[in-house]
Chain A
Amino acid sequence: MEIPKDLKYAKTHEWVRVEGDVAYIGISDYAQEELGDIVYVEMPSPDDSYEKGEEVATVESVKAASAIYTPVAGTVKEINPDLEGTPELINQKPYEAFIFAIRFSEAAGSAELKELLDAEAYEKQVEQEKDSH
């Protein structure tokens, strides 16, 4: 199971890559494996605004439907158009297949993004969850 060091993670298993004032958000290797074969991603509309922790997208697999939350408040800058036709990209390359990108304000960014986990802390959380299975 892969947990790249250069990314941040949310407790709800999203990964976050920050580029300037934009956060790219996808789901972790562990999350995609838990979900199984992903068949559909329900996307937000570009320019819609969201609060921190709000549900932005839904990932559907053959056995579950899971909400994807934004760890930072802002507006949808873009969605990943490739996922419409090939949602399995999330299974194949979870850290390349971002789901949506959020443009955040300076204030929101400095406060909210700090709460995210680094790779080491996230790995610990995943190990704990595996144990409790």
Chain B
Amino acid sequence: MIAYLPHTDEDIEAMLDVIGVARIDQLFADIPQELILKDPLEIPTGLPEHEVYRRMKSLAGSNQVQNVSFLGCGSYDHIIPAVVSHILSRSEFYTSYTPYQAEMSQGFLQAIFEFQTMICELTGLEVANASLYDGHTAASEAAVLSLNSVRRSDTLLYSSTLHPFTRQVLRTHFSNLPVHLEEIPSLNGTTDLEVLSARLRPGVAGVILQSPNYLGYVEDLSGLAEKLHDNGSLLILSTNPLSLGVLKPAGEWGADIGIGDTQPLGLPSYFGGPSVGYITATGKLLRKMPGRIAGQSRDQEGKRAFLLTLQAREQHIKRERATSNICSNQALAALATTVYLATLGRQGIREIADQNTQKAHYLYGRLVKETPAKPLFDRPFFNEFPIMLPNKAADVLPRMEEKGFFAGVDLHRLDPTIPNGALAIAVTEKRTCGEMEAFVEALKEVLR
């Protein structure tokens, strides 16, 4: 196999000569001998192009692409208009990285600026950044933002109804930092607000809640922001952005920071990623926002121009005092969300959110009425809901798969505190009446 190195032996020799080193391996002299690989990597030799195609095709053939998906819990099967992949396939977009040079990157900077604007409009908050890795890392960035904004704070409260992955990422992020993380228990499917109120005390930087929460239930946030603000703490609200077509956004709840994952807006589930995290906040927090921010300005000739702005927050300027070490974004995936939102517009998002709500409630009604499955709790939800099966989900799911359905997410597998048999079912605008009909029949048969 050819080693894809761009330099010739002469190039390498010339460079070594300049820095006064005889051989390349002398550059690695500081690495202990026992850590250095002595033999070549054990990887198979190359294959001819057509054999690679054959192998990849056969691997791809084992995907179950025909199954009808009711999977959710953070990643959903939505309709994605063709225009999204069309724009994404333009090489001007897919070959460029985070735009460091404003003068070179006007197109992408404008796309990022529009992404930020749309996220602000959706969430009802004032500032957004160019995106983060995913909704889970957005939660840890929001946590850092709150700790940096509330003086003498060292504690962060979060609800146990946050997605289990979000909770894992939070625990990992703060595992070696002098920060106390406290999990607030839930009561009948939503955050136990009495316990939450009792835990408020000086030193609490912020509280992270998710609504709809990972079970699908909508949290009641009435009066919560005021209560937190009286304690000097910030409200961080994680939200499926599509739900904002029908539900009250973070800004209207009085939240200080809004976070979430834009996978439902124009991104397929892939194999769990890449996705896009969004973070948005009140104008007061602008100077402590993590990551890149695209701004709109004027060039020398007075024409509209775009640039990366407010960089004094970032680590290449603020060094060790920077409030975040995020210096990248999910540019291409965020572009998918931008194109998706621009294609749908205000009315379209409302319609899709409405369809999600109606279809999910229709299926819920039928399942509860016609099958032995019971609701886990009786709570308002958006486009996903948990049901209790009479058997273990792990027994039911493979049989539903044989019948052509990804029937839902086994909640017990995600979170062992949830009883075995709990299944989270998501219903998007993509599901047809016929599919839902067949799903009910299939589940009846499997549970018989």
Contacts and interface: CB of A to CB of B under 8 A. Distances in A.
A65 B317 contact: yes
A60 B321 contact: no
Interface in B312-358: 312-313, 317-318, 321
A84 interface: no
Given A40-B287, A42-B287, A64 B151 contact: no
A7 interface: no
Nearest to A44: B151
A42 B321 CA distance: 14
Task: Tell which of B287, B312, B321 has the most Cβ of chain A within 10 Å.
Answer: B312
Given A40-B312, A60-B312, A65 B318 contact: yes
Contact of B321 (A61, A63, A65): A65
Interface in A1-54: 39-40, 42, 45, 48
A60 B321 CA distance: 12
A121 interface: no
A13 to B, nearest CB: 16
A45 B151 CA distance: 10
A interface SS class: strand
Contact of A63 (B151, B313, B317): B317
Contacts of B312: 39-40, 60-62, 64-65
Nearest to B314: A65
A31 B348 CA distance: 54
A126 interface: no
B321 A67 contact: yes
A64 B317 contact: yes
Contacts of B317: 63-65
B154 to A, nearest CB: 16
Nearest to A63: B317
Contacts of A40: 287, 312
Contacts of A65: 312-313, 317-318, 321
Contacts of B313: 65
A31 B385 CA distance: 59
A45 B284 CA distance: 13
Nearest to A50: B151
Q: With a 10 A CB-CB cut-off, give which of A39, A60, A61, A63 has the most chain B CB atoms.
A: A60
A61 B312 CA distance: 8
Contacts of B151: 45, 48
Interface of B: 151, 287, 312-313, 317-318, 321
Name the 4 nearest CB pairs between A and B, nearest first. A60-B312, A65-B312, A65-B318, A42-B287
20 contacts: A39-B312, A40-B287, A40-B312, A42-B287, A45-B151, A48-B151, A58-B287, A60-B287, A60-B312, A61-B312, A62-B312, A63-B317, A64-B312, A64-B317, A65-B312, A65-B313, A65-B317, A65-B318, A65-B321, A67-B321
Given A48-B151, A60-B287, A64-B312, 6 more contacts: A45-B151, A58-B287, A60-B312, A65-B312, A65-B313, A65-B321
